[in-house]
Amino acid sequence: MTDNQTKNEFIHIAVGVLKQANQVCLSLRQKHQSHADCWEFPGGKIEAGETVQQALQREFSEELAIVTHNWQPLIEIPWHYQKVSVYLHVYQSDEFSGEPVGNEGQQVKWVDMERLVDYQFPAANQKILTALGL
């Protein structure tokens, strides 16, 4: 971030790395979304008055039909795409109940951590892979 930029110029996104054993949960961005056909760690925009953890609990409930707990910070990523700037607040957890399903029609799957390099992600997500030690 340059000196004249503030966090307010970004769209704040809560991103959740949900773990189960040596796997993480991914969802496939749909044709009508930006970065269509890229895989991503689920999440969404943080609403006014929400903490990152509250946003993740809401998003995982809405998008994947599961209840999550105990989100812990992993990394923060300010990123400038051509038309939008996002500020990713990336958290991780392995505490959840239920089995993730694509509540919004998106494909969802568990992927072995060492196989994440085989998947195409939006550019900003590459730093998440680095933070996960891949």
Known binding-site residue numbers: 29, 40-43, 63, 125
For 6, other C-beta atoms within 10 Å of its C-beta total 9
Q: Give the annotated binding-site residues for 8-oxo-dGTP.
A: 29, 40-43, 125
Count H helices and E strands in the chain, helices first. Answer: 2, 9
Q: Could you write out the DSSP letters of every residue in 73-121?
A: EEEEEEEE-SS-EEEEEEEEE-EEES----TTS--EEEEEGGGGGGS--
13: phi > 0 → left, psi -120 to 50 → alpha, else beta; which? beta
Q: Give the annotated binding-site residues for Mg(2+).
A: 43, 63
